[in-house]
Chains A and B, each alone.
Chain A
Amino acid sequence: MDPLDELMARCSLRDQRAFAELYRRTSGRLLAVAMRIVRRRDWAEEILQESFVSIWHHVPQYDRVRSAPMTWMTTIVRNRALDWVRRPQHETSDEGLEHVVENWADDAPGPLDRLRNDADAGALNDCLGQLSGQQRQSIALAYLHGLTHTELADHLQQPLGTIKTWIRRGLERLRGCMDGAT
């Protein structure tokens, strides 16, 4: 059983100490998720704060059968970060984006290396390994950094249609591979 499950159950009974412990255990990872997408610490911390208030209010409706606690919380943070970064007034500078793409190659240890070292990530790591480098890179950049098709096309200097195809085919293969693995 996921050690966070018990904390979530206590939180849904309005146990604030359990909530403090849940925050202690997960906030560092969730802040990292928001920071990759919005690329500014103050914005990411605001998203983290709003997400945890929302987690507290919605935890009684959390359904552990449907998703693991960390998956549920990551989804809340990612959706808030994606909404945030796509409001016109929050658009980050292109400089930030250039940085993201340039550092992709030597982002050490890169996201794929980190997956390799994580026991729970085995299936995703194996299946990403079966995609082409371009498919893998576009999927990881979109997921981790919140890049849209157009941003990916600009920064990987490829036609929009090519990017869309890489992502579509990449996701199809990933699904086929991961569903076959379980």
Chain B
Amino acid sequence: MKPTHPELRRRLAAEYVLGTLHGGARRRFELWLRSDPALRREVTGWEQRLVPLATTLPEVAPDPAIWRRIEARIDPSRVQPKPAWWSNLAFWRWSSFATAGLASLLFAYVVATPALHSAAPPDAMVVVMGDSATAQPSMTVAWTPEGRGKTRLRIRVIGHAEMAPDTAWELWMLPDGNKPPRSLGLINTHETQVVDLPEDLRGLLNRAAGMAMSLEPAGGSRTGAPTGPVLASGKCVKI
């Protein structure tokens, strides 16, 4: 159970940073941190208080080979070109996370989303997007394919999302047949939001394989394709 007593929270945060919180208690604490911004601030406070102990250590020069290995890992021009991520099978495989909790999630995040239409839609599509780092659901996108007029994508951001300054989140549709992603526009960290589907993508959306959200410079990708890391992605599911 998540700690609520202020004194206990302070103590756990301090011992987490000190390193004396270990084993299962440490893992549990890290889990709480994900959804508790106040606890994260407490931890950051301790990191700042204690860090001079570490940064005043006498320097130890690393072996020059270490930098060469880091460079090879981060510079795509130094390694074999990889296939685009959206055509990579492994990229889709992780999304099996969704199978277990899918039913309850669909209920919680889609059915419980305030309906934009007064009558229940006859047929709806949903994408449960999983966080690329944790494989936990982080966002849902739902829409009614056959609606008249504009198709509106109802987006729900799960948990307390934070966006780094000078960056943007861009939502992409992944068309059928490993074709390059198409931008659906920028989204924000608000829990619920609506994006109007660009007219020219209407036909494609009905056959889309999935969606992804990438981190881009402020204002969005300048190349028309995702340039930053993919933060979340998922497959289209009919409900």
Contact = CB atoms under 8 A, between A and B. Distances in A.
B51 A70 contact: yes
A100 interface: no
Given A52-B70, A178-B49, A32 B60 contact: yes
A86 B23 contact: yes
A49 B164 contact: no
Nearest to B133: A58
Interface residues of A, number: 64
A33 interface: yes
B178 interface: no
A65 B165 contact: yes
A31 interface: yes
B60 A175 contact: no
Contacts of A86: 22-23
Contacts, number: 152
For the complex of A and B, list the 5 residue pairs with the smallest distance between their C-beta atoms, beginning with the closest. A28-B59, A121-B52, A32-B57, A114-B56, A171-B14
B82 interface: no
Interface string B18-48: 1110110000000000000000010010111
B100 interface: no
Q: Interface residues of A: mostly helix, strand, loop or mixed?
A: helix
Contacts of B165: 63-65
A146 B46 CA distance: 16
Interface of A: 9, 12-13, 16, 19-20, 23, 27-29, 31-33, 35-36, 44-45, 48-49, 52-53, 56-57, 60-68, 70-71, 74-75, 78, 82, 86, 111, 114-115, 117-118, 120-121, 124-125, 139-140, 142-144, 146-149, 167-168, 171-172, 174-175, 178
Given A23-B70, A63-B164, A67-B44, A115 B11 contact: no
A67 B54 contact: no
Contact of A28 (B10, B47, B61): B61
B44 A111 contact: no
Interface string B180-223: 00000000000000000000000000000000000101000000
16 contacts: A12-B164, A27-B62, A27-B67, A28-B60, A32-B54, A36-B57, A49-B66, A52-B70, A53-B73, A71-B51, A115-B56, A121-B53, A124-B50, A143-B54, A167-B15, A175-B49
B164 A33 contact: no
Nearest to B162: A63
B59 to A, nearest CB: 3
Given A48-B62, A60-B228, A53 B70 contact: yes
A33 B19 CA distance: 13
Interface string B157-191: 00000101111000000000000000000000000
A66 B61 contact: no
